[in-house]
Amino acid sequence: MRSRTGADATASSEEEEREDAESPPVRRLADWSAGRVEELAAEYDTPLYAIDLDRVRENYARFAAAFPDATVMYAAKAHTGRAVLSALVDIGAPIECAAWGELDRAIDAGADPDELQYTAVNPPDRDLDYAVSLAAEYPGLTITGGARDTLDRLAERGYEGRLAIRINPGIGTGHHEKVATGADAKFGIPYEEGPAVAERARKDFDLVGLHAHVGSGVLDDDLEDHCRAISRVGEMAKRVASGGSLEFVDVGGGYGVPYRPDEEPLDLEKVSDGVREALSGVDARLRLEPGRYVLADAGLVLTEVNTRKETPETTVIGVDASLGTLIRPAMFDSYHPIENVSAPDREREAVSVGGPMCTSADVFATDRPIARPERGDVLAIGNAGAYGYELASQFHSQPRPAEVALEGGEARVVRRRESLADVTRVEQ
């Protein structure tokens, strides 16, 4: 792809970027200090989210360094906490948003509205109203539409600004069928309709880009399919560009991290080479939207054991975290590493770990070898930084947990623990 001048989403200096890029490509749960983690649980109570902002910056800088001529945006939906957004904005990361609330929170965290990108997926009226109103004041904002109907609704609102059209490449990859968006009809304009939609879009808008997202949790084994889908995006970009130049081609995010101990970290050099080869000959700037890669291994959930129940089938370990705290295992069958940070040297035993919710889905692990948990022990659940707090709920009227940020060795509360009054405050 062609390189262009302009503000790249990189660290504050090339030297800092090179230093950050040397950080380990994966942070395993065992790499966290068990003693420090247990101290956090004692000081701030459980269940508790902990997010390491230094690691967030390192992960972003490493990814950006692999694509030095691209615009690397942060996909806000992975974690919209103000501390996270501010940490990334401070090092120059543009923000990609999927809802009006994310646009508002990004701006509140210091993001330049002229650098925001809003990716509309079946957008409610309030989303489009907000985005169009924002673009009227900040014409650098880009709106991405994935349906002819969305373009009609934008035109009805008098929008004539920067537009990218999202196409569906027909190939999906990722860790679960629920995130393989590249083959899901919900996402994007049908592939062969791309040129006609682009021709129509040029009449009403400033068509600046082509967008696609293949899926989430992409690791090396998925890379061939991922690049095959991106190659289709590249071919479509060439067809669309025949009617007028494009400023950028956005291939989304979805780049994964190893949740399981036997999985290797993503080879970013291999990814970069594959993506560039797939887009060979495309005369536009590359955009990417990592979210999970930046946040996942920077976050933990800390939870206290309250019940130990031995049964003929298994030993059940009850904890105070639940699917309301971290829903990914229940929603996506996701594996999250778990360690007993109170007594990591005890003999391991196979146990099933679950929370207090009245559903069989409220389970974090089944027959998992863990250092023998006893009542009062603190367990750490790893790789919880991405799509952890974002998907937290108040099911069973349980207040959502506090969140502490780690930075420069210090900890501070960045999201207080909810009270029952917070749960019921909006009721009438």
Q: Give the pLDDT confidence of 101-141 residue by residue, as tens digits.
A: 999 999 999 999 999 999 988 999 999 999 999 999 999 99
What is residue 11's predicted lDDT score, i.e. its pLDDT?
Answer: 41
Whether the model pTM is above 0.75: yes
Torsion, Cα 220 221 223 228, to 10 degrees, reads: 170
CATH code of the domain covering residue 214 = 3.20.20.10
**What's the CA gap between 220 and 232, in Å, rounded?**
19
pLDDT band at 20 (very low <50, low <70, confident <90, very high): very low
49, 402 in Cβ contact below 8 A? yes
Domain end call among 295, 315, 333: 295
Percent of the chain with pLDDT over 90: 84
pLDDT band at 176 (very low <50, low <70, confident <90, very high): very low
Residues annotated as catalytic are 358
**What's the CA gap between 231 and 92, in Å, rounded?**
29
Is residue 314's pLDDT more than 70?
Answer: yes
- Domains of the chain: total: 2
CA angle (22 as vertex; 410, 115 as ends), nearest 5? 75
Same domain, 121 and 164: yes
Residue with tokens 């809003």: 118
Whether residue 88 lies inside any domain: the answer is: yes
Average pLDDT, the chain: 91
Same domain, 291 and 301: no
Same domain, 317 and 327: yes
Whether residue 427 lies inside any domain: the answer is: no
Residue 158 has φ and ψ, to the nearest 5°, of 80, 15
Same domain, 259 and 317: no
Same domain, 325 and 256: no
**Buried-state track 287-314, b at ≥16 Cβ within 10 A, e below 16:** bbbbbbbbbbbbbbbbbbbeeeeeeeee
Same domain, 103 and 13: no
For residue 139, the tally of other CB atoms under 10 A from its CB is 14
Is residue 36's pLDDT more than 90?
Answer: yes
What is residue 54's predicted lDDT score, i.e. its pLDDT?
Answer: 98
What is residue 157's predicted lDDT score, i.e. its pLDDT?
Answer: 98
Domain end call among 276, 295, 314: 295
